[in-house]
Amino acid sequence: SSNAIKVADVQVGPQSFEKIRPLGKGDFGRVYLVREKATNRLYAMKVLSKKEMIQRNKIKRALAEQEILATSNHPFIVTLYHTFQSEDYLYLCMEYCMGGEFFRALQTRKTKCISEQDARFYAAEVTAALEYLHLMGFIYRDLKPENILLHQSGHIMLSDFDLSKQTRSMKNPSMSTANATNKTLMTLDTKACIDGFRTNSFVGTEEYIAPEVIRGTGHTAAVDWWTLGILIYEMLFGTTPFKGANRNQTFSNILKSDIVFPDSQHITSQCKNLIKKLLIKDENKRLGSKLGASDIKNHPFFKNVQWALLRNQSPPMIPVLSKTGADFHRNKNKTSSSIDISKEESIEPEADENNPFEGFDSMTLIHDGNNY
């Protein structure tokens, strides 16, 4: 996106919003649909409990999420508008994606899966978003259908960045030559931005976890290309390729089993080839390990994709609001305790090295033009 972001002093606080209902619940926070009283605009408000974050040593995660969202400016990454804090909570006020979770949209279809052509569209958008994050020096690490939201336009948006890591030393991408079907192309080597960056923490959703994460050998950006392979497979077949009866069986399958393609849907050899190359168990041989996103974009499966025009194309599924105004967002925990944001007051923490939340900036991000 070419939109410029300007950072301003925060212009709102918890009392500027009216809570409508819960949208979801995370590890140490909740997400609510809220309405800004002054403008009537709807937002998704992520409210994180400071107490829970301290107890579970998750402060760095929240600061990382704020940094990623505040510096990201891309049509397929959820937009952040305001951040602020009260005595007990941190707040991230984000774009509300009316279509809810992509995963839920898949579940509403009779077959729980989509055609290869439609899967290519979403895989291309996810690839473009991952390429951007890698250019910024972030590894996403938690790509799964629940974290892919559907914008009201039908395009996807990645959300939930509390598992992502930024490399210590940001490098500039380099230009490399790639040979795609005998044409020599100059491609952007996004791998350079995160080269040599490994992290040992064990995160992700078990059916999506890459072999190197299970082995505990540390992992690089190649972990995101593995999860893209799982995602494409699930879009096509309605299940993940290594799902076992329990966690240990799933992990054993991820480490040892070959991919089997069900007969439920006929897919092209290029599609099978892409999935196989993304799901190579050795991260150093996996597609994406040489030039990053360029390896994936140059694969024959994506031959006719016009990468620069993705956001202008008509998506296969457009979310439709029901007559009741309900959307596809789930509220798993109907009885969960609710946070009354109307009684919370903004604070601007003192500069104090003992305050773990000093690094969480209160700000309003002004975006020139909308993404859609």
The encoded tokens of residue 90 equal 């941190």
Can you tell me whether residue 310 is helix, strand or coil? helix
CA distance 151 to 154: 5
**For residue 29, which of 100, 105, 93 has the smallest C-alpha distance?**
93
Cβ neighbours for 10, distance < 8 A, ≥ 6 positions apart: 82, 83, 84, 346, 362, 363, 364
DSSP H/E element including 149? strand 148-150
176 versus 43: the higher-pLDDT residue is 43
The response to whether 243 counts as a known ligand-binding position is: no
Catalytic member of 9, 27, 118, 142: 142
- Asked if 174 contacts 194 with a C-beta cutoff of 8 angstroms, the reply is no
Cβ neighbours for 236, distance < 8 A, ≥ 6 positions apart: 113, 114, 116, 119, 265, 267, 271
In the chain, % of residues over pLDDT 90 = 30
Is 142 one of the annotated active-site residues of the chain?
A: yes
What pLDDT does 202 receive? 42
CA distance 67 to 86: 19
What pLDDT does 299 receive? 97
pLDDT, average across residues 231-247:
93
pLDDT, average across residues 283-305:
94
pLDDT, average across residues 246-268:
93
End-to-end CA distance of the chain: give it in Å, rounded. 10
Written as one letter, the residue type at 1 is S
**pLDDT tens-digit readout, 49-82:** 888 888 877 777 777 777 777 777 788 888 888 8
**pLDDT tens-digit readout, 117-164:** 999 999 999 999 999 888 877 777 667 777 888 888 899 998 876 544
CA distance 79 to 70: 8
Mean pLDDT of the chain: 78
Fold of 100-312: Transferase(Phosphotransferase); domain 1 (1.10.510)
Tell me whether strands 29-36 and 42-49 are parallel, antiparallel or unpaired: antiparallel
Boundaries of every domain in the chain:
5-97+321-367, 100-312
In the chain, % of residues over pLDDT 70 = 72
Angle ∠(351,355,357) on CA atoms, nearest 5? 95
What pLDDT does 112 receive? 81
pLDDT, average across residues 226-251:
93
CA distance 168 to 119: 34
Q: Which of 34-38, 100-104, 159-163, 291-295 has the lowest mean pLDDT?
A: 159-163
Between helix 222-237 and helix 116-135 the angle, nearest 10°, is 160
**For residue 130, which of 190, 88, 80 has the smallest C-alpha distance?**
190
Question: 74-110: string of b/e by CB count within 10 Å (b at 16+)?
Answer: bbbbbbbbbbbbbeebbbbbbbbbbbbbbbbbbeeee
Question: Is 332's pLDDT higher than 70?
Answer: no
What is the 3-state secondary structure of 217-277? Answer: CCECCHHHHHHHHHHHHHHHHCCCCCCCCCHHHHHHHHHHCCCCCCCCCCCCHHHHHHHHH
CATH of 5-97+321-367, one of 3.30.200.20, 3.30.1300.10, 3.40.50.300, 3.20.20.30: 3.30.200.20
- Asked if 3 contacts 371 with a C-beta cutoff of 8 angstroms, the reply is yes
User: How many other CB atoms are there within 10 angstroms of residue 189's CB atom?
Assistant: 20
When pLDDT is cut at 50, 70 and 90, the band that residue 18 belongs to is very high
The encoded tokens of residue 328 equal 């596809």
244 versus 78: the higher-pLDDT residue is 244
User: How many other CB atoms are there within 10 angstroms of residue 364's CB atom?
Assistant: 17
Using CA atoms, how far residue 13 sits from 6, 28, 290, 315, 347, in Å, is: 19, 20, 45, 35, 9
- Burial grade of 264 (CB within 10 A; 0-12, 13-18, 19 or more): exposed
The whole model's pTM is what? 0.75
For 97, phi and psi rounded to 5 degrees?
Answer: -95, 100
